[in-house]
Amino acid sequence: MERVFALYRLTQRPEGSKGGLLTAIRSASTSAFAEAGCRSSHIWRDTDDAGGFLLIEEWETPQRLEEHMRSPAFRRFLEVLELSESPPEILYIEGLCLRGLDWMTQVLGTAGDEG
């Protein structure tokens, strides 16, 4: 099976409204879970009061994740990433292959080449 995992870690100031960032992440991840190929989507909160959240999505294939990255729903998720207090950590795991922001940029850079 070719499944791939997408991990996004976002932070906010401890005194910030955790509900606001959490609501934004939930909204963005709910739309991903409704898409074909998304097997699961989970949000984890740091146990300390550092204000961190981790979104983990499991996709059936890398191609399904790439389709999602090119969707309007992912464009909205990019706006949520901008809410992170520190630069968001982004990882994509496929088998033993670990990718990061460079792969997302590469996928998004080719979106206009298809049509």
The answer to whether residue 115 is domain-embedded is no
Structural domain range at position 53: 4-110
Q: 91: how many CB neighbours lie within 10 A of its CB?
A: 15
The answer to whether residue 96 is domain-embedded is yes
The answer to whether residue 83 is domain-embedded is yes
* pLDDT surpasses 80 at 115: no
Please, what is the average pLDDT of the chain?
Answer: 83
CATH number of residue 39's parent domain = 3.30.70.100
The answer to whether residue 62 is domain-embedded is yes
Cα separation, 36 vs 39, in Å, equals 8
Q: What is the pLDDT of residues 23-67, one digit of tens each?
A: 888 888 766 667 889 999 999 988 776 678 999 999 999 999 999
pTM (2 d.p.): 0.78
What is the number of structural domains in the chain? 1
The answer to whether residue 9 is domain-embedded is yes
Residues 6+ apart with CB under 8 A from 66: 107
The answer to whether residue 58 is domain-embedded is yes
| Per-residue pLDDT, 35 | 83
